[in-house]
Structure 1
């Protein structure tokens, strides 16, 4: 009985630590939604035919920059 309680306590403590160490996506729902949309936009641009006079490639670069900025904003908000 004591071993079972000890194991249950350890499992509960481990689950609590895991929950605390996992960043909450709901903490920044608008930023997360923006990131999801940017990732979808990037996938769509990658699937597009590359005959756009360099504009598709430029758009991909700008979307990548936007993804980096949104991630940086989420990280900043998490630490401040």
Structure 2
């Protein structure tokens, strides 16, 4: 089977479009990571705004949220 330049160009274009569609699926998943990070930032804001005397649990929760934010950021970078 022989391929003309126009047929090769069409096949190449179709391959690029298929790859772009697959990449779009991966980016849709990143949306969950961004939503999780936004929720963690909201939780952090609420913890900072709360009263300071919580028997050390407020501080522990802030540390845990900060660690979770770092992990989500790493996950976002890896997922790119």
Q: 2: CA distance between counterparts of 1:66 and 1:77?
A: 16
Aligned to 1:43: 45
Aligned to 1:63: 65
Structure 1: 5+ residue stretches without partners: 1-25
Structure 1 residue 29: Cα displacement: 0.6
Larger Rg: 2
Extract structure 1 runs of 4+ deviating beyond 6 A.
none
TM-score by length of 2: 0.64
CA RMSD of aligned residues (A): 1.2
Q: 1: CA distance between counterparts of 2:74 and 2:51?
A: 30
Q: Which has the higher contact order (CA 8 A, sep 6+)?
A: 2
TM-score by length of 1: 0.64
Structure 2: 5+ residue stretches without partners: 1-25
How many residues align structurally?
A: 53
